[in-house]
Structure 1
Amino acid sequence: MTLLVNHPEREVLARRLEQNIVLRRLEGDAFAALEPHLAIIDYRKGDVLLTQGAHDMEQYFVLEGVLKRVVASPEGKEMILRFAKEDDMDTSYAAWKLRTPAPYSIRAVTRARVAKLPLPQWASFMDSYPDLKEDFEYEIMHLMSEVMAHTITLHLLDAPGRVHRFLRKHPELAERVPKKELASYLNLSAETLSRLKHAGKI
């Protein structure tokens, strides 16, 4: 773990963070004030960033790679709720605010590089920048809406319909997410996904 301010690629990483969906309106002085709080972490494919049920939570800004948000039943059955790629973010802010355990895990789908900081620090920082807090809370609502729409889709659309919706909404992820992960996200078997592709239905 290396703090952004001490990272050998600091300038490149800072420019990348300035494009993040939450941070892009942050002025120079404010961004400089945030830098000392951000740790840069490299994750391998499959690494866990957040464990479902955890109480220590962090804010994540994706610099490279793809993350997934996953919820598991007591029996161990898993459901992928969403993916996050470069310039996106993930968080368990709502659970932290409600003082409840993390309701899902966050894992690396591919090799990933992430800037992160503890949620208490992030919340305290946002209190000094109302525009940033407004952007962040809007994004939280957008993510919740996205997850809800995905869950409804799994019940209302047939297999080709689910795949078509994903390709329409997230074309940039179609070739980046491993087929096994994509099939799981769409509640399909890898064989069904492959069959649809070879049949020309997707």
Structure 2
Amino acid sequence: MTLFTAHPDRNILRVQLAQNLILKDANSEVLDKLEPYLTLVDCRKGDVLLHQGVHEMEQYFILDGILKRVVTDQHAKEMILRFADERSMETSYAAWKLKTPTPYSIVSVTKARVAKLPLHQWVAFMEEHPQLKETFEFEVMRLMSEIMAHTITLHLLDAPNCVHRFLSRHPNLDDRIPRKELASYLNICAETLSRLKHQGKI
């Protein structure tokens, strides 16, 4: 891990950070104030940024690569709740507000670069910038709604339509997510996903 402000590629990182959907409307003065709080993490595929069940939480701004939000049951069976790529973010803000342990893990799907800071610092920073807080809380609610809609979809649609819905909503992720990961997210086996794509049914 490296301090954001000390990284040799800081100028490039600043551009990437400013493109994040939470920060894109923030002016340079706000970003200047935020940067000293940030730590830069270069993730390998499979690295865990946040473990399910912990109380120490962080806010993540994705600069490059793809992360997933995943729940694991007591039998070690996993369910992927969502994928997030660059210009997006990950958080456990709802759990922090409710003072409960994190209900999911956040894991890198691909090689990724993330700027992070402790969640309590992020919350304090937002209190000083109400417009930023409004944008962030709206995105948190949107993500919760999106995850709920995806869960319902898995019960209502058959495999071809589940895949078609994902591709229509996230065309930029199709070729970047390993087939096994995408199949798990869609609750189908990797062979079924490959067959559907090969047969042109999606």
TM-score, scaled relative to structure 1: 0.99
C-alpha distance in 2 between matches for 1:30 and 1:189: 45
In structure 1, distance between residues paired with 2:14 and 2:102:
28
The DSSP-based 3-state class of the residue aligned with 1:114 is strand
Q: Residue 100 of structure 1 aligns with which residue?
A: 100
Within-5 A mapping of 1:47-196:
47-196=47-196
Shift of 1:95: 0.2
1:173 offset after TM fit, Å?
Answer: 0.2
Matched AA of 1:56: E
Alpha-carbon offset, residue 5 of structure 1: 0.9
Give the number of equivalent residue pairs. Answer: 202
- Which has the higher mean CA deviation after the structures are superposed, 71-80 or 43-52? 71-80
SS at match of 2:162: helix
Deviates more, 1:71-80 or 1:120-129: 71-80
CA distance in 1, matches of 2:109, 2:148: 21
Three-state SS of the structure 2 residue aligned to 1:84 is strand
**1:77 shift after superposition:** 1.1
The 1-side partners of 2:184 and 2:14 are apart by: 34
Q: Deviations over 1:6-52 (max 9, x none)?
A: 11000100111101000111111111000000111000000000000
- What percentage of residue pairs aligned between the two structures are identical? 65
Report the AA paired with residue 132 of structure 2: L
Give 1:193 shift: 0.6
Distance of 1:198 and 1:24 partners within structure 2: 39
Classify the secondary structure of the residue corresponding to 1:13. helix
Q: List gaps (5 residues or longer) in structure 2.
A: none
Q: Over aligned residue pairs, what C-alpha RMSD do you find?
A: 0.6
One-letter code of the match for 1:84? A
- Give distance in 2, aligned partners of 1:114 and 1:198: 34
Q: Secondary structure at the match of 2:172?
A: helix
The letter for the 2-side match of 1:130 is P
Runs of 4+ in 1 over 6 A off after TM superposition: none
1:76 CA drift (Å): 1.3
Task: Measure the CA separation in 1 of the matches of 2:30 and 2:197.
Answer: 47
Cα drift, residue 168 of structure 1 = 0.3
Matched residue SS, 1:172: coil
Paired letter, 2:156: L
Structure 1: runs of 5 or more not aligned: none
- Secondary structure of the equivalent of 2:32? helix
The equivalent of 2:25 in structure 1 is 25
